[in-house]
Chains A and B, each alone.
Chain A
Amino acid sequence: MEIFSNLPLLAVLIPVLGSILLLFVPEKNDYVRNPLAFAVSFVTALVVVSVVRLVLQGHIVCHRLVEILPGLELSFRVDPLAALFGGAASVLWVFAVLYSTGYMAHEHNRRRYFIYYLLSLGITMGIAFAANLFTLYLFYELLTLATYPLVVHEGNEEAQKAGIRYIIYSFFGAGLILYSLFITYGLVGTLSFTQGGIMAEVARTAPLLLTTVFVAYILGFGVKAAIMPLHSWLPSAMAAPTPVSALLHAVAVVKSGVYGILRVMYSIFGTETMAELNLGIIVAVLVSFTIILSSIIALRQDVLKRRLAYSTISQLGYITLGAGLLTPLGLSGGLLHIINHALLKITLFFCAGAIITVTGKKYISELKGVGRRMPITMLAFTVGAVGMVGILPVNGFISKWYLMGGSLEAGMPIFIIILIASALLNAAYFFPIVTAAFFKKGDFEAPPQRGEAPLSMLVPIALLAVLSLVVGFKLDLTVPFVEMVVQYLY
Chain B
Amino acid sequence: MTQGYDLSVLPLLAVLLPACGAGVTALVSFYSAWWRNFTATVVTAATLVAVAAMYPAVVVQGRVLEYQLLNIVSPLNLTFRVDSFSFIVAVIASFVWLAATIYALAYMEHEENRPRFFTLLLLTMSGTIGVPLAGDFLSLLLFFEVMSLASYVLVVHTQTEEAYSAGDLYLYLGVAGGMSILAGLAFLYFRNGTLAIMPATLVVQGMDVVIPLAAILMIVGFGIKAGMAPLHIWLPRAHPVAPAPASALLSGIMIKTGAYGIIRVINVLLVPAAGAGALESIKGMYQEFWSMVSNMGYVIIWIGIITMFMGVILAVIQENIKKMLACSSISQMGFILVGIGVAGYLKYEGAMGMAGASYHIINHALFKSCLFLAAGVIAYKLGELNMYNLGGLWKKLPFTTLVVIIASLGIAGFPFFNGYASKTLLHHAMVEAYEHYGVKALLEAERIFMLSAAGTVLYYLKFIYLVFLRRPPDEMAAKIEGIKGEPRAMKLGMAMLAVMIVFIGINPGFLLSELIVPTVYSFAFAPSFIEHHVVGINFFTAGDILSSLVVIGLGSIAFAIGVKTGLFKTSIPAWLGQEFFATQLGKLLAACWNGLSNAVMKVLAFGGAIFRRIFRSSFTALQSLDYRPGSSGAFRTFNLTNLDFDVILIMGILAAALGVLFYLQFRVLGIGF
The chain A residues found within 8 Å of chain B, CB to CB, are: 161, 164-165, 168, 228-229, 232, 236, 278, 281, 285, 288-289, 292-293, 296-297, 329, 386, 389-393, 397-398, 400-402, 404-405, 408-409, 411-414, 416-417, 420, 423-424, 427-428, 431-432, 435, 438-441, 472-476, 479
CB contact under 8 A between A281 and B72, given known A391-B175, A423-B179, A431-B171: no
Choose one: B75, B178, B647, B672; the contact of A229 (CB below 8 Å).
B647
Chain B residues near A474: list those with CB within 8 A: 71-72
For residue A172, give the distance in angstroms from its CB to the closest CB of chain B: 11
What 14 new A-B contacts, CB under 8 Å, besides A168-B638, A391-B178, A413-B187?
A: A292-B658, A293-B654, A392-B178, A402-B75, A404-B183, A416-B186, A420-B180, A423-B175, A427-B175, A435-B171, A439-B156, A439-B159, A440-B164, A472-B73
User: Can you list 18 A-B pairs, Cβ within 8 angstroms, ordered by A?
Assistant: A228-B651, A289-B658, A296-B654, A390-B179, A392-B142, A400-B182, A401-B75, A408-B187, A408-B191, A409-B190, A413-B671, A414-B662, A420-B179, A424-B175, A424-B179, A431-B171, A431-B172, A475-B73
Tell me if A405 and B642 are in contact (CB < 8 A).
Answer: no
Tell me if A401 and B665 are in contact (CB < 8 A).
Answer: no
Instruction: State whether the Cβ of B537 lies closer than 8 Å to any Cβ in chain A.
Output: no
By beta carbon, the residue of chain A nearest B648 is A229
Tell me if A405 and B145 are in contact (CB < 8 A).
Answer: no
Chain B residues near A432: list those with CB within 8 A: 168
Cα distance, A281 to B663, chains bound together (Å): 13
Choose one: B142, B156, B175, B180; the contact of A389 (CB below 8 Å).
B175
Tell me if A289 and B654 are in contact (CB < 8 A).
Answer: yes
For residue A367, give the distance in angstroms from its CB to the closest CB of chain B: 15
Instruction: State whether the Cβ of B475 lies closer than 8 Å to any Cβ in chain A.
Output: no
For residue A304, give the distance in angstroms from its CB to the closest CB of chain B: 19
Give the interface centre of B152, B168, B183 by most chain A CB atoms within 10 Å.
Answer: B183
Cα distance, A229 to B673, chains bound together (Å): 25
Give the interface centre of A392, A405, A473, A474 by most chain B CB atoms within 10 Å.
Answer: A392
Which 8 pairs show the lowest CB-CB distances between chains A and B?
A404-B186, A411-B671, A392-B142, A408-B190, A427-B175, A392-B145, A405-B190, A476-B71
Tell me if B75 and A479 are in contact (CB < 8 A).
Answer: yes
Chain B residues near A472: list those with CB within 8 A: 73
Chain B residues near A281: list those with CB within 8 A: 672-673
CB contact under 8 A between A405 and B186, given known A229-B648, A386-B149: yes
CB contact under 8 A between A414 and B190, given known A420-B183, A435-B171, A473-B73: no
Chain B residues near A479: list those with CB within 8 A: 75
Chain B residues near A408: list those with CB within 8 A: 186-187, 190-191
By beta carbon, the residue of chain A nearest B654 is A293
Cα distance, A8 to B651, chains bound together (Å): 42
Interface residues of B in 457-499 (CB under 8 A from A): none
For residue B177, give the distance in angstroms from its CB to the closest CB of chain A: 11
By beta carbon, the residue of chain B nearest A416 is B183
Tell me if A427 and B643 are in contact (CB < 8 A).
Answer: no
Tell me if B179 and A401 are in contact (CB < 8 A).
Answer: no
Tell me if B672 and A411 are in contact (CB < 8 A).
Answer: yes
Cα distance, A439 to B651, chains bound together (Å): 35
Tell me if A293 and B650 are in contact (CB < 8 A).
Answer: yes
Tell me if B186 and A229 are in contact (CB < 8 A).
Answer: no
Q: Which size bracket describes the interface of B in this complex?
A: 35 or more
Chain B residues near A288: list those with CB within 8 A: 658
Chain A residues near B654: list those with CB within 8 A: 289, 292-293, 296
Tell me if B168 and A435 are in contact (CB < 8 A).
Answer: yes
CB contact under 8 A between A392 and B650, given known A408-B186, A435-B168, A439-B167: no
Cα distance, A61 to B74, chains bound together (Å): 31
A-B contact count (CB 8 A): 137
Cα distance, A319 to B71, chains bound together (Å): 23
Tell me if A297 and B672 are in contact (CB < 8 A).
Answer: no
Instruction: State whether the Cβ of B189 lies closer than 8 Å to any Cβ in chain A.
Output: yes
Instruction: State whether the Cβ of B203 lies closer than 8 Å to any Cβ in chain A.
Output: no
Chain A residues near B145: list those with CB within 8 A: 391-393
The chain B residues found within 8 Å of chain A, CB to CB, are: 71-75, 138, 141-142, 145-146, 149, 152-153, 156, 159, 164, 167-168, 171-172, 175-176, 178-180, 182-183, 186-187, 189-191, 637-638, 642-644, 647-648, 650-651, 654-655, 658, 661-662, 665, 671-673
Tell me if A285 and B72 are in contact (CB < 8 A).
Answer: no
Tell me if B672 and A405 are in contact (CB < 8 A).
Answer: no
Chain A residues near B673: list those with CB within 8 A: 278, 281
Cα distance, A428 to B173, chains bound together (Å): 11
By beta carbon, the residue of chain B nearest A168 is B638
Tell me if A413 and B72 are in contact (CB < 8 A).
Answer: no
By beta carbon, the residue of chain A nearest B158 is A439
By beta carbon, the residue of chain A nearest B157 is A439
Cα distance, A229 to B652, chains bound together (Å): 11
Chain B residues near A398: list those with CB within 8 A: 74
Cα distance, A312 to B75, chains bound together (Å): 25
Tell me if B642 and A297 are in contact (CB < 8 A).
Answer: no
Tell me if B665 and A475 are in contact (CB < 8 A).
Answer: no
Cα distance, A404 to B188, chains bound together (Å): 11
For residue B112, give the distance in angstroms from its CB to the closest CB of chain A: 10
Tell me if A401 and B186 are in contact (CB < 8 A).
Answer: yes
Tell me if B650 and A229 are in contact (CB < 8 A).
Answer: no
Tell me if B650 and A427 are in contact (CB < 8 A).
Answer: no
Tell me if A475 and B190 are in contact (CB < 8 A).
Answer: no
Tell me if B643 and A229 are in contact (CB < 8 A).
Answer: yes
Chain A residues near B183: list those with CB within 8 A: 404, 416, 420
Cα distance, A306 to B610, chains bound together (Å): 27
Cα distance, A473 to B73, chains bound together (Å): 5
Give the interface centre of B171, B176, B182, B672 by most chain A CB atoms within 10 Å.
Answer: B182
Cα distance, A413 to B186, chains bound together (Å): 10
Cα distance, A270 to B644, chains bound together (Å): 35
CB contact under 8 A between A289 and B651, given known A232-B643, A431-B172: yes
Cα distance, A441 to B112, chains bound together (Å): 14
Tell me if A435 and B655 are in contact (CB < 8 A).
Answer: no
Choose one: A165, A289, A404, A411; the contact of B655 (CB below 8 Å).
A289
For residue A222, give the distance in angstroms from its CB to the closest CB of chain B: 14
Choose one: A232, A236, A392, A428; the contact of B141 (CB below 8 Å).
A392
Chain B residues near A296: list those with CB within 8 A: 650, 654
Tell me if A165 and B71 are in contact (CB < 8 A).
Answer: no
Choose one: B167, B187, B644, B672; the contact of A412 (CB below 8 Å).
B672
Tell me if A428 and B74 are in contact (CB < 8 A).
Answer: no
For residue B635, give the distance in angstroms from its CB to the closest CB of chain A: 11
Chain B residues near A423: list those with CB within 8 A: 175, 179
Cα distance, A147 to B131, chains bound together (Å): 49
Cα distance, A416 to B638, chains bound together (Å): 39
For residue B133, give the distance in angstroms from its CB to the closest CB of chain A: 16
CB contact under 8 A between A391 and B638, given known A296-B650, A424-B176, A424-B179: no
Chain B residues near A414: list those with CB within 8 A: 661-662, 665
By beta carbon, the residue of chain A nearest B116 is A438
Choose one: B146, B153, B168; the contact of A393 (CB below 8 Å).
B146
Chain B residues near A475: list those with CB within 8 A: 71-75
Cα distance, A414 to B671, chains bound together (Å): 10
Cα distance, A296 to B654, chains bound together (Å): 11
Chain A residues near B658: list those with CB within 8 A: 285, 288-289, 292
Cα distance, A393 to B72, chains bound together (Å): 10
By beta carbon, the residue of chain A nearest B172 is A427
Chain B residues near A440: list those with CB within 8 A: 159, 164
Cα distance, A425 to B153, chains bound together (Å): 21
CB contact under 8 A between A232 and B186, given known A428-B172, A473-B73: no
Chain A residues near B164: list those with CB within 8 A: 435, 439-440
For residue A408, give the distance in angstroms from its CB to the closest CB of chain B: 4
Cα distance, A431 to B175, chains bound together (Å): 10
Tell me if A392 and B73 are in contact (CB < 8 A).
Answer: yes
By beta carbon, the residue of chain A nearest B659 is A285
Chain A residues near B141: list those with CB within 8 A: 392
Cα distance, A236 to B642, chains bound together (Å): 10
Choose one: B153, B159, B637, B671; the contact of A441 (CB below 8 Å).
B159
Cα distance, A229 to B71, chains bound together (Å): 40
By beta carbon, the residue of chain A nearest B634 is A164
By beta carbon, the residue of chain B nearest A409 is B190
